[in-house]
Amino acid sequence: MSNDNKKKVTAIGGIFFKSNDPDYLRSWYSKHLGFSDNKWGTMFEWRKADNPDEKGTTVWNAFKNSTDYFAPSDKEFMLNLQVEDLEWLLSELKKEGIEQIGEMQVHDYGKFAHIIDPEGTKIELWEPAKEG
């Protein structure tokens, strides 16, 4: 795929926010709204419109108010955005003057990096691992 056609963000990967009591809140959402729960929060699976054979996931999860995972942002929430090619996007963002926060992390479920938007909201960029 040429860089001209390359997508930057492909989906909302997750919504993460601070809570006084994350366990209770997850339990409340489970009981009253049917959210399933695991150590990563609730996973909403969907199919990609341009490739219905591929699954996507959007995560909803509450963190303790004391979390430093959203740092250096002081916001009560953090966005996770799925991307097609994280390394390429990070190089594009650098050209545009957007500073990466910390190092890119690589896990068996994908690659992650962080940036901060102009209003101080931390954005987690996630390139999910390829299936198969």
Q: What is the pLDDT of residues 72-113, one digit of tens each?
A: 999 999 999 999 999 999 999 999 999 999 999 999 999 999
Poorest-pLDDT segment among 4-8, 14-18, 84-88, 111-115: 4-8
User: Do 104 and 112 contact (CB within 8 A), yes or no?
Assistant: yes
| DSSP single-letter state for residue 47 | E
> Percentage of residues in the chain with pLDDT exceeding 70?
96
Neighbours of 99 (CB within 10 A): 9
Q: Which residue has the higher pLDDT, 21 or 1?
A: 21
Q: How far apart are CA 121 and CA 17, in angstroms?
A: 11
pLDDT of residue 130: 84
What are the Cα distances from residue 130, in Å, to 95, 107, 108, 110? 27, 12, 10, 8
Structure confidence at residue 44 as a pLDDT band (50, 70, 90): very high
Domains in the chain: boundaries? 9-128
Alpha-carbon distance 49 to 80, whole Å?
A: 20
> What CATH architecture does domain 9-128 belong to?
Roll (3.10)
- CA distance linking residue 116 with residue 79, whole number of Å: 10
